[in-house]
Chains A and B, each alone.
Chain A
Amino acid sequence: MNVSSVQVKEPVQVAKAVETPNGLASSSLAAGSKMRARTFLAVPTATLIAFVVHLFVSQDEPAVDTRSYSVFLAGMFGLSVAAAAVQPLWSSLRRWMAHMCPIIAATVLLLCLWEVITSGLRLLPMPYFPSPAGVLQSLLNDRKLLFDSTWHSLLLLLSGYVLGVSIALVTGICIGWFPLARYWGMPLLKALGPIPATAWVPLAMVLSPSGIFSAVGLVALAVWFPVTMLTISGIANTRASYLDVARTLGAGPKHLIFRVAIPAAMPSIFIGLFMGLGTSFLTLIVAETVGVKSGLGWYVSWAQGWAEYGKVYAALVIMAAFFSTIMTVLFKVRDRVLVWQKGVIKW
């Protein structure tokens, strides 16, 4: 009877592969499993190669320096073999592996190449370019200080980022919504905003009683400009028809700002948040290098001062993991907030 709800388009569903027992399907299945087997064996093979190369090139080096890398490769090998053995019974692991195995194997081979170039052929000047085994050893030796530095960087980054974003949202929404705020705010923003936050370092060091405060302030400043700009543009570009609809539904100014303009501006605000995160990383490292005497930025310049390049690279590895984790978290938050845009349905 209810024709109108019959004629609706059902949201597109991803068709699940159904395994059928007829000959045609099983032959294509066999081809698929051959490819799959190759994929799953890629990591064990790569680690095995890397392991043999490692044993070969590190013959002359003291065992203490190379043992942890051997353990690492052996563990990696064991893990990948175990995963390849378990995957037929565990479908989500299988899907993850099918996607990740080539990348992991390539990474292991790159490490192997790095080792060949450094400790194997000694193509690069030695103290500046340690082998992966050396870097891993430095990382393990100095893990306490590295952990401490990461923790300090995290605190500094988060407090600066949160502070900057909070101020930016307020200024962005005000300037985007109120014409008077735009008249006075825009020129100020245009004049001061484009100055890189790191250019304020001298002033910050004079102004702030402690290095920490000036570093938080610098990170906040670095975040503030892009987030403000993109918030303004998002709010100001809210489609007039959404505001019209809301007004005919009886919405007052508060509803128009918080329930219409801000949600409509969210995609744009998130672009600002990502840009701000990028500038905040840069500013964090600079601020730590010149001002604060803690954190990963400080650690790198300190280790460099002692010519301990293994530690420098160890810190860089940690930084890469640290920053990309934070980036991933922000991506996840965005996917949550902008489901309506992405088209993910949650029933």
Chain B
Amino acid sequence: MAERGHQVVATTATNALNEGSSLRIVEVSKHFPAADASSERTHALDNISLSVAAGELVSVVGPSGCGKSTLLRLIAGLDHCDSGTLTVGADAIHEPSAERGLVFQDPNLFPWLTVRRNIESGLVARGVLHEKRHEVDEFIRLVGLETFAKAYPHHLSGGMAQRVALARALINHPKVLLLDEPLGALDAFTRMRMQDEVLRLWEARGATILLVTHDIDEAIYMSNRIVIMTPRPGRVERIIPVSLERPRQRNSAEFLRLRGDILEFLHFTRGAG
């Protein structure tokens, strides 16, 4: 049963992400209006610049409130920046598109749809359910929820819900995949399995992935580069390339040394600020 599942997952994997697109973020700033007259407006992002090559996997880490989610929403096209430009491939980003998939921090499943229908909803939204219906089962299997296909979201644990959200984003084969702490709610074991799953999807087609995480190990294990952000206003503090061989060993000497460096750096910046 597990082998058979794996077989199908492999064919899905090669299709799940299209050839990636490059991503350019140039001098982007974003303010949020003040909640009331007495408070100041929030300077969420300050002059952020970042280029992500096609097919690159870049992690973004930083303390909460430093604007990571805001950055992803801008790239997704859900919000607009005050100044600066965002481009994907050759096109400026104006509005959301199925080519840029986003997995939110909360699963945000549609509670009125079953697991299966939630995963289908990307196909329904694009009006291609009829042609692509066969893929739905593969994605349900990918996230290991075959027995829950007909369950409604309020029967799922947090981790299961997040896996459904991941499958729902993947079924559109996005060229850029934006992941906002998608594995944060999972237990350590499932989390590692899903990390490998995401890596396999990524390696199979070389899509572009921007992964927000608060887990340094996850960032080192997964990404080509790690972007460290600082809060209020959100700035790119430092970009650390990770040149470890893949598949990476979580306890290799280089891994641990890099981890130590990053932790030290984070501690240093926190102490200074």
Check B150 against A249 for contact (C-beta < 8 Å).
no
Check B112 against A263 for contact (C-beta < 8 Å).
yes
Check A250 against B155 for contact (C-beta < 8 Å).
no
Check A249 against B172 for contact (C-beta < 8 Å).
yes
Interface centre among A8, A244, A245, A264 (most CB of B within 10 A): A245
Give residues 1-32 of A contacting B (CB, 8 Å).
1-5, 7-9, 11
Please measure, in the bound complex, the distance between the C-alpha atom of A5 and the C-alpha atom of B151, giving whole angstroms.
Answer: 14
Q: Which of A211-219, A279-287, A339-347 contacts B (4 or more CB under 8 A)?
A: A339-347
Among A242, A248, A339, the residue within 8 A (CB) of B152 is A339
> With contacts A2-B2, A248-B78 known, is A345 near B108, CB below 8 A?
no
Check A259 against B108 for contact (C-beta < 8 Å).
no
Q: Per DSSP, are chain A's interface residues mostly helix, strand or loop, or mixed?
A: helix
Q: Is the C-beta of A101 less than 8 angstroms from some C-beta in chain B?
A: no
> With contacts A248-B100, A249-B125, A250-B97 known, is A345 near B151, CB below 8 A?
yes
Please measure, in the bound complex, the distance between the C-alpha atom of A28 and the C-alpha atom of B78, giving whole angstroms.
Answer: 62
Q: Mask for B77-107, Cβ within 8 A of A = 1, else 0?
A: 1100000000000000001111011101010
Q: How far is the CB of B156 from chain A (nearest CB, A)?
A: 8
Give residues 216-271 of A contacting B (CB, 8 Å).
241-242, 244-252, 255, 259-260, 263-264, 266
How many residue pairs, one in A and one in B, have C-beta atoms under 8 Å apart? 113
Please measure, in the bound complex, the distance between the C-alpha atom of A1 and the C-alpha atom of B111, giving whole angstroms.
Answer: 29
Please measure, in the bound complex, the distance between the C-alpha atom of A341 and the C-alpha atom of B154, giving whole angstroms.
Answer: 8
Check B108 against A241 for contact (C-beta < 8 Å).
yes
Q: How far is the CB of A250 from chain B (nearest CB, A)?
A: 3
Check B124 against A5 for contact (C-beta < 8 Å).
no
Residue of B nearest to A247 (CB): B96
Q: Which residues of B contact A9 (CB under 8 A)?
A: 155, 157
Q: How far is the CB of A240 from chain B (nearest CB, A)?
A: 9
Please measure, in the bound complex, the distance between the C-alpha atom of A295 and the C-alpha atom of B183, giving whole angstroms.
Answer: 63
Q: Mask for B130-148, Cβ within 8 A of A = 1, else 0?
A: 0000000000000111111
Residue of A nearest to B154 (CB): A343
Residue of A nearest to B96 (CB): A247
Q: Which residues of A contact B77 (CB under 8 A)?
A: 247-248
Give residues 152-181 of A contacting B (CB, 8 Å).
none
- B residues engaging A (CB < 8 A)? 1-2, 5, 73, 76-78, 95-98, 100-102, 104, 106, 108, 110-114, 121-122, 124-126, 143-148, 150-157, 159-160, 163, 168-169, 172, 187, 189-190, 193
- A residues engaging B (CB < 8 A)? 1-5, 7-9, 11, 241-242, 244-252, 255, 259-260, 263-264, 266, 339-341, 343, 345-347
Known: A4-B163, A241-B108. 4 other contacts (CB 8 A): A3-B189, A7-B159, A244-B104, A343-B152
